[in-house]
C-alpha cells in the first residue's frame, strides 16, 4: 500500500523512507556493532525521546551480552534547534571503565551529541562511540567521529519512527519529510 501525505499540527509531510528501508539500515548498524564488540559487553546509552524505536529495533538485532541505560536531553522547539542542550533526565549508572555506545535517532547540527560526548567522556568510560540512525552531514557543525550511521540524509525536517513535530508523529513506522 503506497504511503500518503500526513498532517501534523500546521504542516504537511510527504513519504520519505519506508519501514523496510529503515529496518535494513538498523540491521546494518547492528551487524557492525556485533562485529566490533565481539567478546565485550557494551552499555548502550539511549537518548530519549526520539531514539526509542531505533533502540528497540537495534537491540533486537544485537547478539552480545549488553545493558541499556537512558538519558533525556532537549534542544529542539518546533522544527528548529535552540542551540542549547538541556539535560532533563540524567544517567544513573556508573560508566567508568565501561564500553559505551550512545544510541541517537538523528544527528543534525551535532550540538546535542557534542555535549553528550563531553558529559560522558568526563565519566571515564573505557570507550565511547555513537550509533545514530540518521545523519544530516550538510548541517553538522562539529567533528564528532561518528562510528555507526544508518542513513545520511539531506537537511530536511523529518518525522516518524520516533521523530516528532512538537510531540506528534513519533508513532509512524515510516519516515515523512515536511513539504
Residue with the bigger pLDDT between 121 and 86: it is 121
All structural domains of the chain with their residue ranges: 6-178
Has 174 been annotated as catalytic?
Answer: no
Over residues 41-58, mean pLDDT = 96
**DSSP-derived 3-state class of residue 58:** helix
Q: Lowest mean pLDDT of 69-83, 97-111, 123-137, name the range.
A: 69-83
Residue 105 host element (H or E): strand 99-107
Distance CA 108, CA 106 (A): 6
CATH number at 6-178: 3.40.50.2020
Q: Is the peptide bond before 27 cis (omega within 30 degrees of 0)?
A: no
Residue of 57, 105, 108, 164 marked catalytic:
108
Whether 76 has a pLDDT exceeding 60, the answer reads no
Q: Lowest mean pLDDT of 77-81, 128-132, 162-166, 167-171, name the range.
A: 77-81
Plot region of 161 (φ>0 → left; ψ -120 to 50 → alpha; else → beta): left
pLDDT band at residue 84 using 50, 70 and 90 as cut-offs:
low
Whether 2 has a pLDDT exceeding 80, the answer reads no
State the pLDDT at residue 119.
86
Residue 5 DSSP symbol: -
Amino acid at each position: 500500500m503506497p504511503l500518503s501525505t500526513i498532517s501534523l499540527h500546521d504542516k504537511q509531510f510527504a513519504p520519505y523512507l519506508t519501514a523496510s528501508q529503515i529496518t535494513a539500515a538498523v540491521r546494518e548498524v547492528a551487524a557492525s556493532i556485533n562485529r566490533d564488540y565481539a567478546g565485550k559487553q557494551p552499555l548502550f546509552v539511549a537518548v530519549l525521546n526520539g531514539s526509542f524505536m531505533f533502540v528497540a529495533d537495534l537491540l533486537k538485532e544485537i547478539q552480545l551480552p549488553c545493558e541499556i541505560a537512558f538519558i533525556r536531553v532537549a534542544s529542539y522547539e518546533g522544527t528548529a534547534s535552540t542551540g542549547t542542550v538541556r539535560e532533563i533526565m540524567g544517567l544513573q549508572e556508573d560508566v567508568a571503565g565501561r564500553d559505551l555506545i550512545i544510541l541517537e535517532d538523528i544527528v543534525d547540527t551535532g550540538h546535542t551529541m557534542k555535549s553528550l560526548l563531553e558529559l560522558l567522556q568526563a565519566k571515564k568510560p573505557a570507550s565511547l562511540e555513537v550509533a545514530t540512525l540518521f545523519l544530516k552531514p550538510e548541517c553538522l557543525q562539529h567533528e564528532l567521529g561518528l562510528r555507526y550511521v544508518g542513513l545520511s540524509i539531506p537537511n530536511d525536517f523529518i518525522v516518524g519512527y520516533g521523530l516528532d513535530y512538537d510531540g506528534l508523529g513519533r508513532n509512524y513506522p515510516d519516515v515523512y519529510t515536511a513539504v
